[in-house]
């Protein structure tokens, strides 16, 4: 029998071992040929480690079909010989395993390695691109490491692989072909429009696209070079490349016009020590969820050519390079059901109920389904095996059904014919369906949200009290809160004079909240607390926000054309509510914000050319251009501020607030019990300030915000 643990498959006997080898062989063949494996990466890795462990204990029973000792992709045999074997990499899964590997390498070459190249392990397909006299000649897959398939027909749709190099050299560039997140979404849309099944994930999409011929449509992929070598008639270039450090080879390739990872947030870097390597490994891992393409680890290579030569290579992998694998962020599990939830703005959102699966350190039982059109486009069915993605704090999402695993027992997903919340009709004119009653469908939720701590902060107005006000006909939207009279409240159950006076006082205070809070209370779809602050600080007044067109709104940091159009449409719908708020005397200005320049002026041209897109006074702000993370318990002048208030303070002072520490972080404000975020900041060399230091840095803005 085969028992799966978090680290490896446990193979009880020879029969279990043979079954595991067969399962791994079939999965590898599908994975490298079409990307359609029945196992996700994590499951395959655990199976392979189990096979290796069994073989270590029973060397006399090793089967010829075993994946150990073979180049990854060995099942996908081709007929184009490689000039130099195209090997795969061995793996490590922890800092301890990496340290053991480096010690072994240094013993092998008899000296310390003084230069390590640390680069992302891209989640794609290894290929070799041959150029003769600077012109593209051939594109070949890795295959079994000695020969691969000719896929030159696909080169025209590969971004980053030029038809002609900057110099007329004869060279072979090796790298990975993958789909970026945008290419994956666009590719799936195009594929399903032409009647094809959606790709399960970007790697599946890249594999299928690379081998496809005579398609009626075009799907783009992207190439990233990770090395180069001379061809037999390369001349002096061969000798030059043989002596260059790996990092200089990559720079040379980039200079030829071939795409590398140098321009990304996870660009290759050089490290002098194992400790420096680990810092970079952690940094790349922390950026993983934000990248526009998939990675499943970090590749660490001895940079110097002499170290590589003396280390040599085995039959499967070079001894001078290793893949440091990251925890899996994709798993295959079963779609059990779909729930239809109605949000406070009336949006009807589907949510997938999954057979629980552990991904990236947490158990996932639910996942995002964007809208009914997305369900239809992906052809999702109840009972499907689906590929689920989750990384860090990202909400889990279903990427696609694993179509080749269907049994025929799957059933269509039923869409609601009326609003699941109130039974009213559904507006299906846009991709995101909405109850025809809009916000009124979830009036209690809408008013409760507006009154919440991070919006108008009306103390004493909880959901129970809002239900009373709605049921009594006193409130049809949150603007009606500002016209409530004492006698009306006293007539409600459990509303005495003290509670009534306290609530009216809280409402009166809410009337003076800054524009950013009021705009957030509107609950404009596609905006939240941070975006509301940026919009308010850019426009300074509600009048200017309402008057803004799509082009003007795009000047706000983080708002693209699509979101701008949605905000403009939403504000038209909200115009009556905004008018009621104005009539009630609610604040419609943002303290300290500078209005944008008038259209057609020189000042406007300067703003469009790069002035700060969040309003304010630009470089005079103490946190201008800085990304700030807050962690731990605040003290001193910051002690009473909520996290949202801290974020408001950061943005008033010109900075950008973030919840996670990465290489992009400029400053960590670390209070008591700061924990892992402080440790990561120390490892990355991020500046750290205690609350008192930070309060002094932003003192003027702290004082200005005390009343908001």
Give catalytic residues, as residue numbers: 121
Per the CB < 8 A criterion, the answer to whether 302 and 113 are in contact is yes
- Burial tier of 254 (Cβ tally within 10 Å: 0-12, 13-18, 19+): middle
Per the CB < 8 A criterion, the answer to whether 126 and 317 are in contact is no
Q: In what order do the strands lie in the sheet with 125-132?
A: 135-141, 125-132, 171-178, 221-230, 158-159
Distance, CA of 237 to CA of 240 (rounded, Å): 5
The CA dihedral of 609, 615, 617, 619, to the nearest 10 degrees, is -60
Token duo for residue 388: 């689920």
Q: Which of 638, 684, 642, 639 is nearest to 660 (CA)?
A: 684
Report how far Cα 205 is from the mean position of its chain's Cα atoms.
18
The DSSP secondary structure of 345-402, one letter per residue, reads TSBEEEEEEEEEEEETTEEEEEEE---HHHHHHHT-EET-EEEEE--TTSPPEEEEE-
- Which residues, at least 6 apart from 250, have a Cβ–Cβ distance to it below 8 Å? 117, 225, 226, 227, 260, 262, 268
Q: How far apart are the first and last CA of the chain?
A: 64
Between helix 202-211 and helix 14-33 the angle, nearest 10°, is 60
Per the CB < 8 A criterion, the answer to whether 240 and 266 are in contact is no
Length of the chain (residues): 708
Per the CB < 8 A criterion, the answer to whether 399 and 322 are in contact is no
Q: How wide is the angle at C-alpha 636 spanned by C-alphas 630 and 641, nearest 5°? A: 50
Per the CB < 8 A criterion, the answer to whether 128 and 174 are in contact is yes
Task: Please provide residue 19's backbone torsions phi and psi, each rounded to the nearest 5 degrees.
Answer: -65, -40
């Amino acid at each position: 029998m085969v028992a799966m643990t978090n680290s490896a498959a446990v193979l009880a006997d020879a029969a279990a071992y043979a079954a595991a080898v067969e399962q791994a062989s079939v999965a590898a063949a599908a994975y490298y040929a079409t990307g359609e494996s029945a196992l996700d990466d994590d499951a395959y890795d655990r199976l392979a480690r189990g096979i290796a462990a069994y073989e270590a204990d029973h060397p006399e029973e090793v089967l010829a079909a075993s994946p150990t000792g073979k180049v990854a992709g060995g099942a996908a045999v081709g007929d184009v010989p490689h000039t130099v074997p195209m090997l795969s990499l061995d793996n490590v899964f922890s800092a301890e395993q990496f340290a053991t590997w480096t010690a072994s390498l240094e013993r092998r070459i008899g000296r310390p390695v003084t230069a390590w190249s640390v680069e992302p392990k891209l989640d794609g397909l290894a290929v070799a691109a041959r150029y003769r006299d600077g012109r593209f000649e051939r594109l070949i897959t890795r295959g079994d490491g000695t020969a691969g398939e000719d896929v030159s027909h696909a080169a025209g749709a590969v971004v980053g692989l030029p038809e002609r190099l900057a110099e007329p050299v004869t060279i072979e560039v090796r790298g990975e072909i993958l789909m970026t997140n945008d290419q994956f979404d666009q590719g799936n849309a195009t594929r399903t429009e032409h009647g094809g099944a959606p790709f399960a994930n970007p790697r599946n999409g890249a594999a299928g696209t690379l081998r496809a011929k005579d398609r009626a449509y075009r799907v783009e992929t992207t190439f990233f070079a990770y090395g180069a070598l001379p061809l037999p008639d390369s001349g002096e270039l061969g000798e030059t490349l043989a002596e260059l450090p790996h990092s200089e080879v990559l720079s040379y390739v980039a200079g030829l016009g071939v795409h590398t990872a140098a321009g990304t947030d996870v660009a290759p870097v050089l490290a002098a020590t194992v400790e420096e390597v680990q810092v970079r490994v952690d940094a790349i891992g922390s950026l993983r969820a934000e990248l526009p393409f998939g990675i499943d680890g970090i590749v660490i290579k001895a940079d110097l050519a002499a170290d590589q030569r003396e280390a040599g290579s085995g039959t499967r992998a070079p001894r001078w390079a290793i893949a440091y694998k990251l925890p899996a962020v994709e798993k295959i599990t079963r779609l059990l059901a779909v729930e239809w939830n109605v949000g406070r703005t009336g949006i009807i959102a589907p949510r997938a109920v999954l057979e629980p699966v552990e991904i990236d350190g947490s158990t996932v039982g639910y996942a995002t389904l964007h809208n009914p059109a997305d369900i239809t486009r992906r052809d999702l069915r109840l009972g499907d095996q689906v590929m689920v993605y989750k990384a860090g704090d990202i909400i889990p999402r279903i990427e696609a059904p694993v179509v080749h695993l269907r049994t025929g027992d799957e059933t269509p997903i039923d869409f609601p014919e009326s609003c699941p919340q109130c039974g009213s009709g559904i507006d299906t004119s846009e991709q995101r369906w909405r109850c025809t009653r809009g916000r009124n469908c979830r009036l209690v939720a809408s008013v409760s949200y507006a009154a919440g701590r991070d919006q108008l902060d009306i103390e004493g107005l909880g959901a129970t009290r809002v239900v009373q006000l709605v049921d009594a006909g006193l409130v049809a939207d949150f603007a009606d809160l500002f016209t409530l009279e004492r006698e009306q409240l006293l007539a409600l159950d459990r509303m005495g004079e003290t509670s009534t006076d306290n609530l009216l006082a809280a409402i009166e205070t809410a009337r003076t909240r800054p524009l950013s809070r009021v705009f957030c209370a509107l609950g404009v779809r596609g905006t939240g607390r941070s975006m509301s602050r940026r919009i308010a600080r850019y426009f300074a007044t509600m009048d200017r926000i309402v008057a803004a067109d799509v082009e003007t709104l795009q000047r706000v940091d983080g708002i693209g054309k699509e979101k701008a159009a949605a905000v403009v449409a939403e504000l038209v719908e909200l115009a009556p509510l905004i008018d009621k708020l104005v009539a009630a005397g609610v604040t419609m200005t943002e303290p300290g914000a500078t209005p944008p320049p008038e259209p057609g002026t020189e000042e406007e041209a300067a703003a469009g050319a790069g002035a700060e897109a969040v309003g304010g006074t630009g470089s005079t702000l103490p946190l201008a251009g800085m990304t700030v993370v807050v962690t731990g318990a605040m003290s001193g002048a910051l002690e009473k501020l909520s996290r949202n208030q801290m974020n408001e303070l950061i943005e008033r002072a010109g900075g950008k607030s973030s919840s996670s520490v990465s290489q992009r972080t400029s400053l960590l404000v670390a209070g008591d019990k700061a924990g892992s975020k402080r440790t990561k900041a120390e490892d990355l060399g991020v500046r750290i300030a205690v609350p008192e230091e930070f309060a002094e840095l932003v003192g003027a803005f702290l004082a200005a915000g005390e009343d908001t």
